[in-house]
Amino acid sequence: MTRSPITRAMIPAAGAGTRLLPATKVVPKELMPLIDRPVIQWAVEEAVASGVEDLLIVTSRGKSLMADHFDRNFELEHLLESRGKTRELEAVRAVGEAVRLYYTRQAEPLGIGHAVLQGASHIGRQPFGVLLPDDVMTGPSPVWGQLAAHYRPGVCVVAAMPVPRAEASRYGIATGTMKGGVMEVEHLVEKPPLKDVASDPAWALLGRYVLDEGIFDVLRDLPPGAGGEIQLTDALAVRAGEGRLLAVAFDGVRYDVGDKLGYIKAVVAAALAEPDLGPAVSRYLRELRESDLP
């Protein structure tokens, strides 16, 4: 896949992680591990693999551990080197080396749209990416890069996935005609009631975005939406009304790791994908299925 010419992106990571309490009382949900890498590192690696060179992470109070994770730890590196643990040393050093990382804070929990606004001065007047770390996405090629391949000036692009109509009220739902894996979105509603969802499956919009620079102006003019927050979905609905929003049916799988079941599924999938670990995990799962455990 050709790397995107869009080289700036941000990761909103200021949420409280209430669905995973008490584990997230002290440890940010973004640092919950998927095998040997924290959740946020999966999003960072996806961005880098897609061509992002400059990445802004939007944090909040109590989340300085994320910056520590991506920083150098010379004491640990010296320990690993002295013990000949070359593989572990290379993995630790590689964590923050592939991209320029910057940080800013969202002082109040006023929604993802508000978090995106915190990056306006850093991003400047150019298109950029947004990757929500709660959505871990894997595929034959980086999912954000798949979206960036469809970007054109003045248009926003969002990842889309078909979901059963009965589950549509859990997502932002787009309507329009999907052709060749791309939909020109005509209408967008956040968590619509079931009676307002006509199609089955419905097209849900997920946490990967390519946004045009004008989205900052839209967000600044938005009144507070659901929960009194500035919702990114509301800004995208404005773009849809202008005929400037594309939804792309990405090639891959998405896991909601902010949800307990979604987190478990992501851990299992990540374990099965590890060459050194996958066969043993697969055997264990077969044994578990054949056992008398409830």
* Domain map (residue ranges) of the chain: 8-258
Q: What is the pLDDT of residues 221-262, one digit of tens each?
A: 998 887 788 999 999 999 999 999 999 999 999 999 989 999
pLDDT of residue 221: 92
Beta pairing, strands 8-12 & 128-131: parallel
pLDDT of residue 294: 64
What is the number of other CB atoms lying within 10 angstroms of the CB of residue 121?
A: 9
Q: What is the pTM of this model?
A: 0.91
Q: Look at 95 and 48; give whichever has higher pLDDT.
A: 48
Q: What angle do CA 267, 136, 90 make, to 5 degrees?
A: 75
Q: What is the pLDDT of residues 80-118, one digit of tens each?
A: 888 988 888 888 888 777 789 999 999 888 899 999 999
Nearest partner of 250 among 138, 131, 165, judged by Cα = 138
Q: Give dist(CA 31, CA 11) in Å, integer.
A: 13
Q: What is the mean pLDDT of residues 49-71?
A: 90
Tell whether domain 8-258 is in CATH 3.90.550.10. yes
What is the number of other CB atoms lying within 10 angstroms of the CB of residue 45?
A: 16
Residues 253-275: b if buried by 16+ CB within 10 A, e if exposed: ebbbbbeeebbebbbbbbbeeee
